[in-house]
Amino acid sequence: PEQLLIKAIENSRPLLQLTAIKRGGVKYQVPIPVTEKRSYFLAMKWILEAAREKERKVHLPEKLAWEVLDAAYNQGRVVKKKNDLHRQCEANRAYAHYRWS
């Protein structure tokens, strides 16, 4: 079980995130790398949020177990959320030079 949890968290860790930077009256979504500590925090937070969003009739420990299993096998809401975030970062990489200015 411990290895499954570790694998689930590793699979759902984001490498990049978007931050809004204002230049010339326009806000740009600029991709920046995520620190290791924050990426672990985001992965665990997303797994918990995904478990809480599931149907009300099932108890939280069971919902959480299903989310962890899904994330460990690289599927489910959390991995989809990470992939969507990375896709957005890839789309906005043209604005990456604003990170240093």
pLDDT digits (tens, 9 = 90+) for 17-69: 999 999 999 999 999 999 999 999 999 999 999 999 988 899 999 999 999 99
- Other C-beta atoms lying within 10 Å of the C-beta of residue 56: 7
Confidence of residue 1 (pLDDT cuts 50, 70, 90): confident
Cβ–Cβ < 8 Å for 50, 67:
yes
Place of tokens 């490498």: 15
Question: What is the number of residues in the chain?
Answer: 101
Q: Residue 69, SS3?
A: helix
Rg from Cα positions in the chain: 16
Cβ–Cβ < 8 Å for 45, 32:
no
